[in-house]
Structure formats: structure tokens, C-alpha cells
């Protein structure tokens, strides 16, 4: 399939015109030199232009379009207190006139809001706390409560990662190919933080449908590879089906590196601290402590292990998240 044909297929889903796309594609010469090669590039989804940017805007273009088609007047999603996805959902909902309700993990903090949680308030989101409940049951319970109160809720899954949301990253892969073609760039691998799965699944579907030889490598943020690959395979198959493609995916189709889980989700260690400082001090760019900092740290370690050929051309897909830096100052300066 050609990029033009795949984009036409995606356009049939009528995504909203949210954010600023295409996001920049740039080289990282000073980082490449500091690491002794290979050639490194970056896809700047931190500059997607809505609510301080991030990769979730790509998914929300499709998800909020469906919410509006369903005549919803409130959207709900779930995440951690410093969730990038929750912050971007709140911003996107505000931009199209929808009420946003965020179900966040744990109990309400006693400290002054900071980072993403502060921005949730600016965007007018209503926050509910899951307490001891798991996020998914808490999210659906809140939706039921809203229905009983006469609202028309639309649930956006954790990370926006269902088949419709993943189409945003099929479109992202098309965007990358169309940016790279005039410069005659072909990437040997794309490295991306992978957690809820929609980003990696969407990129993999896009690469398959375009017959692109580029490897998609997910640095797992919080899941063991053995179970995560099955989740990715199911999501990718559902995404391809939504795009009227007969393609099916198996766990073996996904490269997931789970060597950098560290102390767990949101626990900042030396890997993240060093990676954040390295990119900031070589290129003047920021990564976040939970997702992109961990993924970049993983990439640096893979390079030091000699995983890639010296003449390889690699792309780091920056998924955003910089606002959460301000909530992790103590851990980052340790």
C-alpha cells in the first residue's frame, strides 16, 4: 500500500484537526557524537501543539471525533496523578467544548498541584480519585454515575490505546515516511517508549501496511515483554481490521525490551537521570522522567552494548511529557 492510499483509508475515520502536524523530524548530531554513533534522529511529538504537546494528541484526534459523533457531552479517562494522557485529554476536550472527567490513581494529594496535575486544573478537568480501586472499574463506575445523572459520557481507555486510538500512530508512520522521503532518509529502527501499547501497535501496523523494513522497538515502561507482546499483537490486529486490512499479528512480530523497568512505573533511577541530563546538555531538549527519559536511557544502554551497527540510522520517537519534570525535581536532583 502507498502512503497516499493508507492516508486516504485513515481519513475515512474523519479524525479531528487537533494539534500541529507534522511534528518536526530532526537530527541529533551532538548526541550521536557523544555516544560515538550511530546516526540519531528524533521525531518531536513533544511539539504536537495542544496542552504542551505529546503523542496522545494523535490518538485523541480519532477518539474525540467518535465521541462527538456519538453526541457525548463528557469524556472520561484514567491515569496516574502525573498522567500525560490525562493532561492531553483535558486539553483536547476543552478545545472542542467537551467536559472532561479524569479518574486518577490513589488518593487526592495534600500538596499544591504541580506538573501535569496542575495543568489538568487549568484545562477545567474534573478529577475523581480511584482510592483503593483499580483504575478500570473506577472509570466505568464514574461513567455509570454520570449516565444516571443524565450526562452522555464517552470513555477513552487508558492511554487512548484501543484500535481507533492506535490509528493515530498508523497516521504518524505515514507522516514520518512522507517527511523522510524528500531527504532520502530510511531508518533502520524506531525506538519508542511503550506502555499502554497504542503507539507501538500503530507504528507496527503502519510499517506492515507500507512494507517498511524499519524495526519498531518498544522500550517497555511497566510491563514484562512476555505478556505485553500478546497485548500488542491483539491491538495491532484489531487496528488493521478497522482499516479494512486482512493483516494479522503475532507476539513474535513485536520487539519489546523490558530490561529497564527499574523500580517500577514512575520511579526515577540513575538510568532516567543520566539520559535526561545527556539529551539536555548535548541538544538542549527535554525528556520526561517516566516515559521518554526511561526509553532514552534504554536506547543509550543498547548503543553502549553494541546492539546496533555503527552505520545504522536510528529514530527516537519523542512522545512528550516534559510538564511532569516539575513534579519530580527531588528525584531528578538526587
Instruction: Please tell me which residue in 32, 83, 161, 324 is annotated as part of the active site.
Output: 83
SS3 string of 251-270?
HHHCEEECCCCCCCCCCCCH
Sequence-separated (6 or more) residues with CB below 8 Å from residue 175: 21, 22, 23
Q: How is the beta sheet containing 215-220 ordered, strand by strand?
A: 25-27, 39-44, 313-318, 189-194, 215-220, 255-257
Torsion-angle region of residue 299: left (phi > 0), alpha (psi -120 to 50) or beta? alpha
H/E stretch holding 155 reads strand 153-155
Those residues with Cβ within 8 angstroms of residue 184's Cβ, 6 or more apart along the chain or in another chain: none
Beta bridge partners of 215: 189
CA–CA gap between residue 262 and residue 287 (Å, rounded): 17
Query: What is the distance in angstroms between the CA of the first residue and the CA of the last residue of the chain?
Result: 50
Q: Which three cell numbers stand for residue 185?
A: 532518509
**Burial profile 101-115: b = 16 or more Cβ within 10 angstroms, e = fewer:** bbbbbeeeeeeebbb
CB 126 within 8 A of CB 102: yes
Q: Which residue do the cell numbers 492531553 mark? A: 88
* 194 noted as active-site residue: no
CA 301/CA 127 separation, integer angstroms: 38
Torsion 309-310-315-319 (CA) sign: positive
Here the cell at position 17 is 484537526
Catalytic residue IDs = 83
Amino acid at each position: 500500500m502507498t502512503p497516499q492510499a493508507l492516508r486516504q483509508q485513515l481519513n475515512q475515520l474523519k479524525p479531528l484537526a487537533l494539534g500541529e502536524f507534522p511534528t518536526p523530524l530532526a537530527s541529533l548530531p551532538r548526541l550521536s557524537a557523544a555516544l560515538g554513533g550511530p546516526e540519531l534522529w528524533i521525531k518531536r511529538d513533544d511539539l504536537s501543539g495542544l496542552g504542551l504537546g505529546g503523542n496522545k494528541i494523535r490518538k485523541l484526534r480519532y477518539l474525540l471525533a467518535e465521541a462527538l459523533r456519538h453526541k457525548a457531552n463528557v469524556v472520561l479517562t484514567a491515569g496516574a496523578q502525573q498522567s500525560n494522557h490525562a493532561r492531553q485529554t483535558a486539553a483536547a476536550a476543552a478545545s472542542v467544548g467537551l467536559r472532561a472527567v479524569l479518574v486518577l490513581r490513589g488518593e487526592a494529594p495534600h500538596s499544591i498541584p504541580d506538573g501535569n496535575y496542575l495543568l489538568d486544573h487549568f484545562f477545567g478537568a474534573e478529577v475523581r480519585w480511584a482510592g483503593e480501586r483499580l483504575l478500570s472499574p473506577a472509570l466505568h463506575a464514574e461513567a455509570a454515575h454520570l449516565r444516571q445523572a443524565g450526562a452522555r459520557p464517552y470513555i477513552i481507555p487508558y492511554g487512548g490505546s484501543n484500535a481507533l486510538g492506535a490509528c493515530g500512530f498508523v497516521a504518524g508512520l505515514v507522516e514520518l515516511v512522507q517527511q523522510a522521503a524528500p531527504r532520502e532518509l530510511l531508518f533502520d529502527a524506531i525506538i519508542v517508549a511503550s506502555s499502554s501499547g497504542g503507539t507501538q501497535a500503530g507504528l507496527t501496523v503502519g510499517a506492515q501496511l507500507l512494507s517498511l523494513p524499519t524495526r519498531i522497538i518498544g522500550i517497555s515502561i511497566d510491563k514484562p515483554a512476555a505478556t505485553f507482546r500478546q497485548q500488542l499483537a491483539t491491538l495491532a490486529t484489531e487496528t488493521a481490521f478497522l482499516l479494512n486490512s486482512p493483516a494479522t499479528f503475532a507476539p513474535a512480530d513485536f520487539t519489546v525490551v523490558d530490561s529497564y523497568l527499574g523500580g517500577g512505573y514512575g520511579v526515577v533511577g540513575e538510568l532516567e537521570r543520566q539520559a535526561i541530563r545527556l539529551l539536555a546538555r548535548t541538544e538542549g531538549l527535554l525528556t520526561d522522567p517516566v516515559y521518554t527519559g526511561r526509553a532514552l536511557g534504554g536506547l543509550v544502554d543498547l548503543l553502549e552494548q553494541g546492539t546496533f551497527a555503527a552505520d545504522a540510522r536510528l529514530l527516537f520517537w519523542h512522545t512528550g511529557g516534559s510538564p511532569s519534570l516539575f513534579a519530580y525535581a527531588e528525584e531528578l536532583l538526587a
